[in-house]
Structure 1
């Protein structure tokens, strides 16, 4: 069986950026989806993870039809330590490759750090919600020698943050409660994944926080996108700012904010998103939404 560089389990939105980059780097890969559809011009293998499978047969289990790979990227969330063990150990036992077994990369979310913190700045080393189901599964992947990339808000391609405003802030009170926002572009997620596979010794056993290095102010974005038509506004009057922009300006007066963006202190939680890029000698290509 030929060994591939990367096996992508669950080729979704991220893979629309990752697969073209893998081709550029001439890295061999395979990918799975539930229905075997084509993603970024590549045919995928129909496959669905069954966390409850108990079969121990190497020839007849859910991993037996998956190709051999140096790195296995898990793009979908695992929600328990047992699920992580089932996937990692099941694949390794079915694809017995010594002395260099496959390495696992789990994609997660920076949402695990959305708990009360003692400091304004939050890094990958800050306390996180250890009771969060995804965090529990990620911890197990780490204990098994894998790497976890906790991703900030994802944008790029079909995901345009400008269109989110009407959904996340329907009232003035919603706008008032909006503070910091952290993002990362799909292309930079793809670059991070390739970087991890290129320098595994730095990556293994580590949880990384992945942002584009910016802390965005929701009010500043709403005002900056005042002329962007929101999906729920219907036929907006040409030349009129959005309701969210009006509300943000009203709140600036009420809360004595002289100019945007607001101070880091006013924004609350701020992610220190530079450490990954510094460690791997990279700079985001798609920073600043």
Structure 2
């Protein structure tokens, strides 16, 4: 970005996948924004900014504009890193109006998902439920929240992300390569990039109830891996191309997952899909409090 703005409403630290939805939404709502990318992998129309979680040098922050809200899209795992980022930004951007800081996190801290180790529990969790405090990412987020109310900070823990190039239907073959693996697959929670962006702007527009708070973001649904595997099969995109070329219905190209699910339903006494959250292996996440607090609702649900 040749001439970065001096002041914006929203500053996106890390122009990654989320920004592909957040930036167009800012444009459509006429919200002034700026985004950063690293010097080693620069992106068009971004400010080059290298975040070092161990450094107390304020100079790199001087290139950043004043912002009402700063969105931190990358994970912070270094002890003290969250506090350094907030304090160095505030030190170099003194203003009568406090900046709000939104850290994007993961709902994996509540189960044995990709963010932390352990076995999922078959129970309901909400944003007040205990989580794995020994996880580096979760610990850094807690330190960020501890800066409130002196600094205005909040954390949005996101469930599985989809949209754009991320299509869940293409994951079935990797997630369930065998019947035994599929047998142990239970719940999954998702949220579309557009709804992540709408949630960020909802907090940006009404930061007060978010200060010092951690939130869960899902599309308010609990999906069943058996249901998805049965409906989609292993290779949806390949199935489509094969059926178009052959003129067939494409059943031969869908993989064995639907058959495995049928067999598992008989073996385990499941009478219909999707299974209830109580029947599935793994957690069920309750994200109602976020959507009700900020008076918005997800618009991209059901993995359509």
TM-score (norm 1): 0.90
Q: CA contact under 8 A between 2:224 and 2:275: conserved in structure 1?
A: yes
| 1:218 and 2:225 matched | yes
Paired residue for 2:289? 275
CA distance in 1: counterparts of 2:72 and 2:297, whole angstroms: 24
Over the aligned positions, Cα root-mean-square deviation in angstroms equals: 2.2
Q: What's the offset of the Cα at 1:235?
A: 7.0
CA distance in 1: counterparts of 2:265 and 2:120, whole angstroms: 26
Paired residue for 1:288? 302
| 1:128 and 2:128 matched | no
> Which deviates more from structure 2 when the two are superposed, residues 109-118 or residues 77-86?
109-118
Matches within 5 A, 1:112-127: 112-114=109-111, 120-127=123-130
SS in 1 for 2:279: helix
Q: What's the offset of the Cα at 1:185?
A: 0.5
Paired residue for 2:193? 186
Q: What's the offset of the Cα at 1:227?
A: 7.6
Q: What's the offset of the Cα at 1:261?
A: 0.9
Paired residue for 1:97? 95
For structure 1, the 5+ residue unaligned runs are: none
- Which of 43, 67, 71 does residue 37 from structure 1 map onto? 43
SS in 1 for 2:60: coil
SS in 1 for 2:10: strand
- Which of 250, 256, 266 does residue 243 from structure 1 map onto? 256
TM-score (norm 2): 0.86
CA distance in 2: counterparts of 1:46 and 1:25, whole angstroms: 25
Deviation per CA, 1:145-176: give whole Å up to 9, x if none: 20100000000111000001111111111101
Q: What's the offset of the Cα at 1:250?
A: 1.2
Q: What's the offset of the Cα at 1:228?
A: 4.4
Q: CA contact under 8 A between 1:81 and 1:139: conserved in structure 2?
A: no
Paired residue for 1:5? 9
SS in 2 for 1:6: strand
Q: CA contact under 8 A between 1:227 and 1:239: conserved in structure 2?
A: no
Paired residue for 2:203? 196
Residues 215, 183 of structure 1: CA spacing in aligned structure 2 closer, same or farther, 3 A cutoff? same
Residues 263, 166 of structure 1: CA spacing in aligned structure 2 closer, same or farther, 3 A cutoff? same
Paired residue for 1:65? 63
For structure 2, the 5+ residue unaligned runs are: 113-118
Matches within 5 A, 1:247-262: 247-262=260-275
CA distance in 1: counterparts of 2:91 and 2:60, whole angstroms: 12
Q: CA contact under 8 A between 2:76 and 2:140: conserved in structure 1?
A: yes
Q: CA contact under 8 A between 2:127 and 2:215: conserved in structure 1?
A: yes
Paired residue for 2:141? 138
Residues 2, 167 of structure 1: CA spacing in aligned structure 2 closer, same or farther, 3 A cutoff? same
SS in 1 for 2:76: coil
CA distance in 1: counterparts of 2:122 and 2:180, whole angstroms: 26
> Which deviates more from structure 2 when the two are superposed, residues 204-213 or residues 266-275?
266-275
> Which deviates more from structure 2 when the two are superposed, residues 113-122 or residues 245-254?
113-122
Deviation per CA, 1:68-103: give whole Å up to 9, x if none: 1111100000003411111111111111223x2311
CA distance in 2: counterparts of 1:258 and 1:88, whole angstroms: 52
SS in 2 for 1:197: helix
Q: What's the offset of the Cα at 1:54?
A: 3.5
CA distance in 2: counterparts of 1:80 and 1:67, whole angstroms: 25
> Which deviates more from structure 2 when the two are superposed, residues 46-55 or residues 144-153?
46-55
